[in-house]
Amino acid sequence: MDKISREPFLWGVATSAFQLEGSPYADWTSWDSILDEKPNVTNHYALYREDLHLLKELGVNAYRFSVEWSRIQPRENIWDDEAVAHYQEVIDILIENNIEPMVTLHHFTHPLWFIKKYPWHEDASIEKFLTFSEKIVSRLKGVRYWITFNEPYVLILAGYFEGCTPPGLRNVPLGMKALKNILTCHGKVYDIIHSKVPDSMAKPMVSVAHNMAALAPWNRWNPLDKLLSKIAKHFYNHSLLDAFITGTLSVKFPFKKAVEIPVPIKGKLDFFGVNYYTRIHMRFNPFKKMGVELRHRDIDGYGLTDMGWEVHPRGLERVLRYASKLKVPLIITENGIATRDSQRKINFMKKHIDVVERCKSKGMDIRGYFYWSLIDNYEWLQGLDARFGLYKVDFDTLKRKPTNAAAYYSYLIKSRNFS
C-alpha cells in the first residue's frame, strides 16, 4: 500500500469565499443587484471563528474554501496583507482542529480591475493570475490540497457563451481563448505549488474542481437529441479529462468544425476534483443558441430541487467512472441540494454517499467527499433562497441553526468506514 492510500478518507464540506462573505472589490458585487442589500451575505468574513466551530461540531476532517482574490488585491498595485493574514488564520484554526484545509484559488469571482482590464481572453490575464497565485502559494502555510480553478467550464459557458456572468460576453471563439488561458494558468500554478512545497510537508495535491453532469437525450428516439447529448457529453465531461491526458483540448460543437487547442496541462494533476449535482436532458431546437435546449426532468421520482435540478444519484457513478480514466485519486469536491426540507437533504446525501460506497467497493480510487455547503449562502444569479446549507442562515439576524441534515452527516461520517 502506498503512503497516500493509508490516509483517512476526507469527509468535508465545501464553501467559496464570495458566496459567504461578498467583497466590495469583486466583479460580482455590481453584477447582481441582490448583493446591494446584503453585500456581506452571511458576514462570514467577520464570523469565521463561529463558522469554523461548526466544522468541529459536524466532525468533518476536511474543509474546502476559497480565498477571495479581490480582497487580497483590491487594486492592481495594492495588496492587502491583512486579507492574506485572515485566510492564514482560517488555515491555522483548521490545522489546530485536525481539519485538512483544501484551498481554492479561483472560485468564479475576480477583482473588478482584472475583469475590466485583463479579461481571460487577453493573454495578459495569465501573468496577473500567476502573480496572485504565486503570492498566495508562498504566503499561506500548511496547505497541502489546492484547487486552482473551480469549474472552469461553467465559468466559460456562463461568462462567454451565455454572457450571464462577468465578463458578460457572447462569443464562443473568445470563450475558447479564455479557456486556453485558464488551463495554461492551471499548468503553471501546478508547477509553482510543487516547486514551493517545503521538504517537511507531504507531497502537494493539486487539481481543478470540474463540474460534471449526467447528460441524456430529451427523447431517446430522436437521433438529433441523441447526437447533441453525445457531443455535450464529450465537451462538458470528457474534453477536460482528455486534455489532462494528452495536452490537447479537442472540442467539437454542433454543426461546427472540430478544434484542437494545445494546453500545457498534460499530467498536471495529483487528484481530480469532481463537482456533481444533477442530470440534464438535451433537445435539438433550432430557435435556441447553438440549437440546444436543456431541461431537468424528475425521472427517478425524487422531485426537482429548489434550483429546479433533477436528483439523480446514479449519475455520480457514471461521472466518477469517466474521471477514473485519469488514473489519479478522485475526490468529490462538491455535491449537495438546495431545499428547505431537511428530510430531502438527508435522503439526497444518503443516496449519493451510497453511490460513493458502491464505487469504492468496485475498486474506484475515491479519497474524499465534500458536501456543498456548510451554511446557506449566496447562490450565483439566484440570491439567498437556494438553501444548500447543513446550517440554516436567517439572513435578517445572521443566526446559524443546524438542520437535521447536519446531525445526519455527522452520523454518516462516523458510521461509514471508508478508510
Catalog residues that contact ligand FCB under the rule CB under 6 A: 16, 19, 150-151, 154, 211, 275, 334, 372, 379-380, 388
- Residue 57 in contact with residue 64, Cβ under 8 Å? no
Exposed, middle or buried, 203 (CB in 10 Å: 0-12/13-18/19+)? exposed
Cβ at position 385, least distance to ligand FCB in Å: 13
CA distance 265 to 219: 37
Q: How far is 277 from 372, CA to CA, in rounded Å?
A: 10
Q: How far is the CB of 153 from ligand FCB (least distance, A)?
A: 10
| Contact (Cβ atoms closer than 8 angstroms) between residue 29 and residue 111 | no
Q: Which is nearer to ligand FCB, 192 or 209 (CB)?
A: 209
CB of 277 to ligand FCB, least distance (A): 6
Which residue number, 179 or 192, has a Cβ lying nearer to ligand FCB?
179
Taking the least distance from each CB to ligand FCB, the nearer of 133 and 150 is: 150
Q: Of 301, 296, 298, 291, which Cα lies nearest the Cα of 281?
A: 296
User: 264, 110, 274: which is closest to 185 by C-alpha?
Assistant: 264
In the complex, what is the shortest distance from the CB of residue 79 to ligand FCB, in angstroms, rounded to a whole number?
25
Cβ closest to ligand FCB, residue 125 vs residue 275: 275
Q: Shortest distance, CB of residue 279 to ligand FCB, whole angstroms?
A: 15
Least distance to ligand FCB from the beta carbon of 198, Å? 30
Residues ≥6 apart with Cβ < 8 Å to 235: 251, 252, 253
Name which of 271 and 372 has its Cβ closer to ligand FCB.
372
Q: Closest CB to ligand FCB among 168 and 383? A: 383
Distance of CA 102 to the CA centre of its chain: 12
CA distances to 48, 137, 177, 337 from 87, rounded to whole Å, are 10, 12, 31, 27
Q: How far apart are CA 387 and CA 339, in angstroms?
A: 5
Nearer to ligand FCB, 389 or 402 (CB): 389
Residue 380 CB, nearest approach to ligand FCB (Å): 5
Q: Which is nearer to ligand FCB, 72 or 213 (CB)?
A: 213
Q: Is the Cβ of residue 235 or residue 380 nearer to ligand FCB in the bound state?
A: 380
Q: Is the dihedral of CA 94, 95, 100, 103 positive or negative?
A: positive
Could you tell me if residue 195 is left (phi over 0), alpha (psi between -120 and 50 degrees) or otherwise beta?
alpha
3-state helix, strand, coil in the chain (%, to 5): 45, 20, 35
Helix (H) and strand (E) counts in the chain: 15, 13
Task: For the CB of residue 313, give the shortest distance to ligand FCB in the complex, in Å.
Answer: 16
Min CB(256)–ligand FCB separation in Å: 26
CA-wise closest residue to 219 among 155, 293, 117, 314: 293
